[in-house]
Structure formats: C-alpha cells, structure tokens
Chain A
Amino acid sequence: MTAVPISYYLVLSAVLFGLGVVAFVFKRNIITLLMGIELMLNAVNLAFVAFARARGQLDGLVFVFFVIVVAAAEAAVGLGIVIALARNRESLNVERVNLLKL
C-alpha cells in the first residue's frame, strides 16, 4: 500500500469534527468555545478538499474558500461580542452570561 485512500482523510475529518463538538460543549471560556467552532469548520474544510480531489472537480475548493471567508467574518463579530460581554460581566465564563439582559 503506497498511497493514501480518501477514506483516511474523511475519518480524520470526522475525528476533528467530533473533537470540535467536545470542545464546544465542555469548555467554559467563551473564547475557547469560539475556537471549538473554528475547529469544526476546519474539519469540514478538510472533508470538502478530500471530496474535491476524489471527484476531480474544483467546486469543493471554491466552497472551502467561501467557508474560510465566512469563518473570518464570524470570528470577527463573535470576538466583538466577547469583548462587549467581558466589559459588562467582568468574566469570561459562559455560565455567568445567564440573564436575558446584558
């Protein structure tokens, strides 16, 4: 066996996605939650690129490009919200953000 089958990349993508979900569910710091989301998006990007290579089409790569751009926009706005929250709550613990009013 001298080559890498696509299924290896897909399993790796699934593992990373699962770890991203664990990071999102089990961590308490808001910034680490956002990092879990970024990990999930990266895992999905890997699956897209693997499928683009398997099918020989470039549409997967274009989609990866858009996912990266949207992730950038989302990270910027998410971190803006985190800064506003930290200023108001004096804490970065997501359990403290439990009132409907900021």
Chain B
Amino acid sequence: MSLPLLLFFACAAAAVAGAIMLIVAREPIHSALALILVMVSLAVLYLLLGAEFIAAVQVIVYAGAIMVLFVFVIMLLNAGAEERTHWSKIAPWAGLPLAFFLLLCLAHFLGHSAIGRTIANGSGAPNTAVSTRALSEMLFRDYLFPFEATSILILIAILGALVLAKRDE
C-alpha cells in the first residue's frame, strides 16, 4: 500500500461519498457542500496525476467561484427542503444491478486495455509534474483562437446573466 495508492483511494472515496450525498441530501445547501467536497478531492487527484496548474485552476475557478455563485443563489432564493415526489418502485430494483453490471464491464475492459494499464504514479512512470510554462505555451500558440473565443463567451455570459437576473423596474 504505497502512498499514491492510499491517497488515490482516500480521494476517490471522498469524491464518491460527496456525489452520493449530493443525490441523497434534502437541503440544497448540503448538496452544494457535497459538490464542493467532490471538487476539492478531484483537485487532489489532479495533483496526483501531475497537473498542478489544473488543480489550482479547479480550486480557484470551480470550487472558489462557481460554487460560491451556487451558494449565493441558494441563500438569496431561500431554497428550502425538497418536496417529496413519488419515485418509481421498479427503478432501484432494475436499475442498480444493471448499473453495477455495466460498471463491472467497463472496469474489465478499461483495466485490460493498453492505455488503462499505464501507470500514473510510482516506478516506471514519468513522475514529474507538468510545467506551467509548457502548458501556457501550448495554450497561447496552438490554441490561441479557442482562448480568445472563450473570452468572448465569458463576456456574453456576463451580459446574459445581468439581463436575466435584472428586476423589471
């Protein structure tokens, strides 16, 4: 049980627990907190995979800005507990075993594929982190047009959010 394996299982357990809590929670604020837990554990997994810059961006943008937006909207709209709706009776009995079987097939085929066997951490793997300089050179040279397009997309999103949420005065 090496440290990378232990850390992977801990973060994977936290992520899955957060996702299940997202589904099971009755208050939206608890679902939001569960999603923040998922995002932070995913950031640690990105660190394990050597992508430090992406881990930092995930925490700053996703967990630190987008989820703050969600939490603000939940607080401002005073979203209360969810109403109980009628769930289908057959869904858990038919769905869960099928989902589990699908997961087993997926794990089998991924585990026995060539790319699935590549080792992420430990001996035999390039254990160096991705340098921010290399990533930014690729972002600003090969992917310059999508970069500028997403900046226009953000501008449109700002305008859209402003117009949609404005009160009619």
Chain A interface residue count, CB cutoff 8 Å, equals 70
Most chain B C-beta atoms within 10 Å of own C-beta, residue among A7, A20, A22, A50: A7
Query: Per-residue CB proximity of B153-169 to A under 8 Å, as 1/0?
Result: 11011101111110100
Chain B interface residue count, CB cutoff 8 Å, equals 83
Q: How far is the CA of A14 from the CA of B38 in the complex (A)?
A: 14
Q: How far is the CA of A48 from the CA of B168 in the complex (A)?
A: 42
A47 to chain B, nearest CB (A): 10
Interface of chain B, helix or strand or loop or mixed?
A: helix
Do B16 and A19 have beta carbons less than 8 Å apart? yes
Partner of B16, one of A16, A46, A72: A16
Give the number of residue pairs across the A-B interface with Cβ within 8 Å.
231
B63 to chain A, nearest CB (A): 10
Do B115 and A51 have beta carbons less than 8 Å apart? yes
CB proximity to A under 8 Å, residues B104-134? 106-107, 110-111, 113, 115-126, 130, 134
Q: From known contacts A8-B8, A15-B103, A58-B134, infer whether A73 and B157 are also in contact, taking CB-CB under 8 Å.
A: yes
Interface of chain A, helix or strand or loop or mixed?
A: helix
Q: How far is the CA of A12 from the CA of B120 in the complex (A)?
A: 14
Query: Per-residue CB proximity of B56-77 to A under 8 Å, as 1/0?
Result: 0110011001100110011011
| Smallest Cβ-Cβ distance to A12: which chain B residue | B12
| Further pairs besides A9-B49, A80-B163: 7, Cβ < 8 Å | A4-B122, A6-B115, A12-B15, A32-B82, A53-B51, A65-B54, A66-B150
